[in-house]
Amino acid sequence: MRMGLEMRMSQQLIMTPQLQQAIKLLQLSRIELEELIDQSLIENPTLEITPVEEEDESTEKKPEETTEATNLVDEQVQLSYDEEWQNYIESGAGVMQDVKNRTSDSDDHSNPLEATISRESSLMDHLFWQLDLSKMTDTEKEIAEFIIGNIDDEGYLSISVRELLATTPPLHKLVKKLLLNNEIDSDTDDEALAMFDVFHETREKVAIKKKGRKKKIPVLDEEEEFEEEVDISQVSNEQCGVLERIIRRIQLFDPPGVATRTLQECLKNQLIVLGMSNSLAMKIITENMQFLEQKDLKRIARLQKADIQEVVKAYQVITELEPKPGRPFGGEVTQYVVPDVFIYKRGSEYVVSMNQDSIPRLRINPYYQKLLQENKEEPAETKKEGEGEQDMTYQYILEKIKAGDWLMKSIEQRQKTIYRVTKSILKFQSEFFEKGIDYLKPLVLKDVAEDIEVHESTVSRITTNKYVYTPQGIFELKYFFTSGIDQGDGDIISSKKIKDYIQKLIESEDKKKPYTDLQIKTELLDNAGIKVARRTVAKYREAMNILPSNKRKKLY
């Protein structure tokens, strides 16, 4: 071993900021790309959307002529861009010419109002509306607003009373104010206490202060602020009791079961609203919840000393209750998938066509091109006055034009790569597009990467959140990459094909005698000739979010 200096020559790809941006563009979804373009148009004054008239004229040009700023960018920098792309992605030439010869399915005369997204009323909106109509005091309403704000989309209050008080200083301040000023309205609290159990941590009942019992306690200063979180040990049981009573007031709101902490509490509250406080269903939920989840009605009948038919009727009532009270309200508005690429049949062959309707075509503003050109051609004598300021302006415009040109090239390269990957998928999965999922073949990223001579990571990025319209429906590009199971005779069956068979079997089964995983394994072998292990069936069933047979079984 020795120490010394040594010189070596090596080749390596340097990830410039421009190349990093281009790689990032590959994995962006269509919506994310549109947002990026909009942001670039705001930040880069030299970029603009190509007018429709000029866009129609430019469709006849070659792909190389679409970027108007190429001649304005320094030749060496332009060459380095091309080399970076060549080293990273090894893209083919002339593909975009085929991409641009596409058909447009857009309707120019459609009513834009029909495409307007309307916002549905959310669970929080519904609760706030009822809060405005309630007879609570102003302070109680403010406290209730904090509680409603902590109710999740399913209708549950997912935080404990003590923790809510400790982590929300303004709420702690309001509760303290309510106690010190003796503003508690107990007229409706008596009814709430009679209807609901106390669920705060200590399970201690807090005495309700009646109106008229005034103590000489100093009023809380309105300007006092609690900027830091309160130590949970400083939250008193009395404060928890105040918050608990207001929670029980909110639990009286519609939908029944809202603002509860557990499924058991949710179901009990719904039975109370139905006037079934003393029913067998209430006893089962209170005492035999674990057996109810297992659908062990015989054991429940023994424990409740009730007839099995009565237990079945109570079970039917329970199954009609809503385990997620917030489900009917709002939620995310359905956003329909816009495919990035189309595969359709033309004659006897399938054709790949890019969808570029919602991706605006960019160009460099002619004014800045002209300004840059004039600055280049301006004689040296005229540049002496204000030379520094002119150089800064020139450099700024030049840099923005380079950035805009690189963005346009990156978007074009992204479209080329999507096109090439889709063409490769079409080659490997041609039978699927013709005959359906039963003919989907096992395919991995490496196969497509070797076919179009790019790296696997490029294929992985370009197939993420990209969708294709096919005669069989709309699919994510990653859908066509699937593992397979060897059947022992050299034949390999796609895992998606097996999942499809399992889904069809479960949909057609007798709901009172559902298939077990072992029976599904046997059915696959007898009816479809697919050899698969029982544990593989269980794994695929769980991946599709399908319950096991004992939980799918209907008892009546």
Looking at residue 24, what is its pLDDT? Answer: 83
Structure tokens at 475: 């699919």
Tell me how far apart the terminal alpha carbons of the chain are, to the nearest angstrom: 82
Rounded distance between C-alpha atoms, residue 443 and residue 494, angstroms: 8
* 8 Å CB contact between 199 and 265: yes
Q: Count other Cβ atoms within 10 Å, centred on residue 19.
A: 20
Structure tokens at 56: 């129609």
Looking at residue 101, what is its pLDDT? Answer: 42
Rounded distance between C-alpha atoms, residue 123 and residue 129, angstroms: 10
The three state secondary structure string of 81-128 is HHHHHHHHHCCCCCHHHHHHCCCCCCCCCCCHHHHCCCCCCCHHHHHH
Rounded distance between C-alpha atoms, residue 66 and residue 87, angstroms: 23
Burial letters for 203-237: b for 16+ Cβ neighbours within 10 Å, e otherwise? eeebeebeeeeeeeeeeeeeeeeeeeebeeeebbe
When computed from its CA atoms, the radius of gyration of the chain, rounded to whole angstroms, is 34
Rounded distance between C-alpha atoms, residue 113 and residue 107, angstroms: 14
Looking at residue 422, what is its pLDDT? Answer: 93
Looking at residue 57, what is its pLDDT? Answer: 56
Looking at residue 272, what is its pLDDT? Answer: 92
Looking at residue 328, what is its pLDDT? Answer: 85
Structure tokens at 371: 């300004």
Looking at residue 84, what is its pLDDT? Answer: 54
- Residue 34 CB contacts under 8 Å (≥ 6 apart), including other chains: 358, 359
Looking at residue 343, what is its pLDDT? Answer: 92
The structure tokens 């603009």 sit at 48
pLDDT profile of the chain (556 residues), mean per 10: 85 74 83 89 89 58 41 46 52 37 42 54 88 87 89 88 83 81 53 39 33 35 49 75 88 91 92 91 91 87 90 91 87 75 89 84 87 69 57 84 89 91 92 87 89 89 90 90 77 84 88 88 86 89 87 77
Looking at residue 222, what is its pLDDT? Answer: 42
Rounded distance between C-alpha atoms, residue 47 and residue 407, angstroms: 10
For 342, the 3-state DSSP assignment is strand
Burial of 168 (0-12, 13-18, 19+ CB in 10 A): buried
